Chains A and B, each alone.
Chain A
Amino acid sequence: MTEPGLMRIVGLIVARELRLAVRHWDQVVQPLIFFVVVTTLFPLAISPSLNELRNIAPGVVWVAAMLASLLALESLFRPDVEDGTIEQWALSGQPLSLLLLAKTVTHWLLAGLPLVIMAPIVGTALGMPMSVWPVLAGSLALGTGCLSILGGIGAALTVAVRRGSVLLALLVLPLEMPVLIFGARAVDLAMHGEAVAGPLNLLAAMLLLCLALGPFAMSAAMRISLE
């Protein structure tokens, strides 16, 4: 019997994660509900007037998306480290970086993609015009990819730390600030009818940088946590 190819292993991991997610669908939905709840707080705290909310809508949606993505990170690696799955991966001779990337991709499918779909609805509730939908979804799609990888590095570093969730936020949020800047600005520019190619290109560049370097940082961090 020949060894399964690397792509097949990656596919198997993604399939396994998705199957697990279907079984524990409530855990997948929770960050999404959190996202909606947080965005509801702003009209209550600031003003019900759509004219006022419209100005801060890009920022509100983006900050809420960042926090929701962070919330889902806590369970990214922890269960699999605790039951020894990831230790097996580390010993399997396959590149750990790629296996962890596969897991992060699934994290994005489960935590990032629902936000991308949900954001236009939430944005509309905050007074965003429909014309901004594509930019909002596009910027979130690129941005949440970055957030998942940066968060994955943080999650791998803190997985061995007890009660690491506050620590995780403290480590990851400063690293994610550029993503927030470009993402929220792209939406803001789109709302004022200006060109958005600049910030979107920069977001894409950051995503490529994260994809290129992130997995190595993740696997190095994970090996330390597994010791």
Chain B
Amino acid sequence: MAEFFRMGGYAAYVWSCYGLTLAVLAGNVWLARRELAAQVQRATRRNQASVATGSAVNAS
């Protein structure tokens, strides 16, 4: 097991690459979700505003 983590002496290189990959992959998912949530929130707020002012539902 320890042998596995040593990676034949290349542990620092191999594990930093895999760690970095994991971070970038997770970061991508997180950023995309956050952007989506922000846009959904904006759309919802716009919808409520248009309902409140009684304007046409479909203004486009």
- Please say whether the chains A and B touch (CB closer than 8 A): no
